[in-house]
Amino acid sequence: MRLDETRREIIMNAVQTTQYIVGQKLAAFEQVQGEFEASFRFVQEVHGQKRFDTFPVEHTVRYLHALWMCESKDRLLSIYKNIERYEGRYCLELLAAWQEGDSAPVVLFLQRKLDTMPFADITRQIHEAHRHGGNYGLEQRLLHGRLTLLNRGMNLLHALDAIFALPDEQLLAKEVQVACERYGHTPPQIDRLLAGMDLPIYAYIPHQALAKRNMVVMNKLGANVMSKPVDQPGNRSWRVLEPVEPMRPFAEHIIFGYQELTSPQHNNIKGDRFVDHPERSDTGTM
């Protein structure tokens, strides 16, 4: 009995600790939510949703900062497996190295992020879809995608043009350091940010409240990003045509009968002891 009480106490302490950290995560995200939303939209624009007429060095610093903010959101809300998809930690390291005069890693990073342009393959698919009468809107969707990639490539060239326009000394003193200070990424600030990533609030702790908050935020941002006419249902490929009423159910799997819970230890965090009694009906055991 003593062992059961000790185990129960350990479990309850772990649950309370988790709830406390989740509360800290939500509070920390509340403080940066507005900046994250602006950063997410900017990343989408750089990746082709918008073609910038110019892309000054300040925009490149902002792009690296925005990727850091997106990773911070993923860490605060515990997005499993995707925490490093934005490479936010690496972006901070790039900004630190850039302020020391090393711009080559930044250029390489921009090329890797923005220079993935299969124009020939997409053009071939467009011609094939056209020969089949548009293929339920696929042709228009491919045309839109090719334009998005073209925007991304133009943004890359504008960014490189701004970086290469000045000698490294002037670039560092007049552009990079000023922009990094504006976004809170001076070398001492970067050191504090990198050290802060080891705090519990940035650890992966799955929780229903975190998942719910992430879904609410990303549903809102997704609707804003996909607000162009070409992104609306009915204007895309056949996979996202306008729904036909009555709509079919999301789940069509039929469960036959009742299945008894055979493992009380599964998903039983509190360790409650119970017996799963079968239900009864007029016709017998269910």
Distance between CA 124 and CA 195 in Å, rounded?
A: 48
Contact present, 232 and 49 (Cβ < 8 Å): no
Measured CA distances, 10 to 5, 7, 15, 115, 269 (Å) = 9, 5, 9, 52, 11
Closest CA to 26 of 213, 267, 229: 213
pTM of the model: 0.75
pLDDT at res. 260: 54
Indicate the SS3 state at residue 281: strand
Please tell me what DSSP assigns to residue 285. Answer: E
Give the Å distances, CA to CA, from 3 to 6, 10, 266, 273: 5, 11, 20, 14
Handedness of CA 117, 119, 120, 125 (dihedral sign): positive
Going from N- to C-terminal start, the domains of the chain cover: 2-117+148-233
The whole-angstrom separation of Cα 49 and Cα 21 is 36
pLDDT at position 136: 60
Contact, 90 vs 107, CB < 8 A?
Answer: no
Q: What is the pLDDT of residue 142?
A: 85
pLDDT tens by residue, the chain, 286 residues: 455 655 665 555 656 778 889 999 999 999 999 999 999 999 999 999 999 999 999 999 999 999 999 999 999 999 877 667 899 999 999 999 999 989 999 999 999 999 877 888 989 988 888 887 756 677 888 888 899 999 999 999 999 999 999 888 888 878 999 999 999 999 999 999 999 988 889 999 888 899 999 999 988 887 666 666 666 655 555 555 566 677 666 556 555 665 555 556 666 666 666 655 555 555 555 4
Residue 80: what pLDDT? 78
**Residue 180 has what pLDDT?**
95
- Which residues pair with residue 281 across a beta bridge? 284
The pLDDT value recorded for residue 169 is 83
Q: How many CB atoms lie within 10 A of CB 39?
A: 22
Q: Which pLDDT score, from 0 to 100, does residue 173 have?
A: 78
